[in-house]
C-alpha cells in the first residue's frame, strides 16, 4: 500500500510503501475492543469511597425508646435508613487494572493501524524539528498539511521542541512510536507518522 510523503511545508515529495504485515492485515475488531477497554480501565484511579455506618460522624445515643412509639426500632442516627446515615454497600477503593497479553496488544495495534490505512487516515511526513518551542509554528505546520482538529503525531524519538510546541493544543497528541497505543490510534481522526518512525513501528509489531 503506497502513501504520499510530505515535508513540513505540506508539499508532497515522494511515495512510500506501508508494510502489509502491519498496516494491511484483516482487522480484528474484538481485540481492538479488549485493548481499548484495558487501557481505559488502567487509567482509572479507583479512589472512590463512601462512608459506611461505622465511619459516619453521628452520635450513637439511642434516638427514642424501644417500644411504644408505633414505629420501628431505632438505635442510632448512623443507620443507613436515616438521612445522613452510612451508605449500604457503597464504593470502596479498588484497583481496576488488569493484564492483556502482549500478542493481543500487538494485534490490536496492527488492526487499528490497518483500519486507519484503509480509510486514508494515515499521513507520512519527513523528519523535521522546530528551532525552538513555539505553538504558532505547530499550528502553521498542521494547517499546511490540512490536519483535522484531532490527530496523533507519532515520532521516532522524544522531540522536546515539537512536544512543547503542541502541548497547548488539546486536539494534538504527540507520542513516541513505543508509546503509541490502540486507544490513541482509534481516538485520532488522522494518524501523522514521521518517516523514520515507520521502520521502528514495523520492527516493534512484527
Q: What φ, ψ does residue 201 adopt, rounded to 5°?
A: -65, -40
The tally of domains found in the chain comes to 2
Do 20 and 67 fall within a single domain?
A: no
The whole domain housing 130 covers 2-45+100-205
| Cβ–Cβ under 8 Å, residues 123 and 145 | yes
- The position carrying cell 524519538 is 157
Give residue 174's Cα distance to chain centre.
Answer: 12
pLDDT, tens only, 43-95: 999 999 999 999 999 888 898 899 999 989 988 999 999 988 999 999 999 99
Q: What separation, in Å, do the N-terminal and C-terminal C-alpha atoms of the chain show?
A: 17
The cell for 38 is 484495558
Q: Which of 28, 61, 90 is the last residue of a domain?
A: 90
Q: Has residue 95 been placed in a domain?
A: no
Torsion, Cα 122 159 186 19, to 10 degrees, reads 40
Same domain for 69 and 127, yes or no, is no
| Cα 138 to Cα 74: distance, rounded to the nearest angstrom | 66
pLDDT in tens, 94-149: 999 999 999 999 999 999 999 999 999 999 999 999 999 999 999 999 999 988 77
User: Are 40 and 127 in the same domain?
Assistant: yes
pTM to 2 decimal places: 0.83
Amino acid at each position: 500500500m503506497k502513501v504520499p510523503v510530505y515535508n513540513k511545508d505540506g508539499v508532497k515529495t515522494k511515495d512510500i510503501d506501508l508494510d502489509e504485515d502491519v498496516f494491511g492485515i484483516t482487522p480484528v475488531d474484538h481485540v481492538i475492543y479488549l485493548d481499548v477497554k484495558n487501557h481505559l480501565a488502567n487509567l482509572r484511579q479507583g479512589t472512590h469511597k463512601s462512608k459506611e455506618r461505622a465511619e459516619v460522624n453521628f452520635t450513637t445515643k439511642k434516638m427514642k425508646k424501644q417500644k411504644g412509639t408505633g414505629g420501628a426500632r431505632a438505635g442510632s442516627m448512623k443507620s443507613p435508613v436515616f438521612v445522613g446515615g452510612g451508605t449500604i454497600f457503597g464504593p470502596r477503593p479498588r484497583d481496576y487494572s488488569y493484564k492483556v497479553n502482549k500478542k493481543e496488544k500487538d494485534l490490536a495495534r496492527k488492526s487499528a493501524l490497518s483500519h486507519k490505512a484503509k480509510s486514508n487516515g494515515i499521513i507520512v511526513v519527513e523528519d523535521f524539528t522546530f528551532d525552538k518551542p513555539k505553538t504558532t509554528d505547530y499550528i502553521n505546520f498542521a494547517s499546511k498539511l490540512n490536519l483535522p482538529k484531532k490527530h496523533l503525531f507519532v515520532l521516532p524519538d522524544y522531540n522536546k521542541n515539537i512536544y512543547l510546541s503542541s502541548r497547548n493544543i488539546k486536539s494534538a497528541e504527540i507520542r513516541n512510536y513505543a508509546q503509541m497505543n490502540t486507544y490513541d490510534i482509534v481516538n485520532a481522526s488522522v494518524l501523522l507518522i514521521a518517516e523514520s518512525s515507520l521502520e521502528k513501528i514495523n520492527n516493534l509489531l512484527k
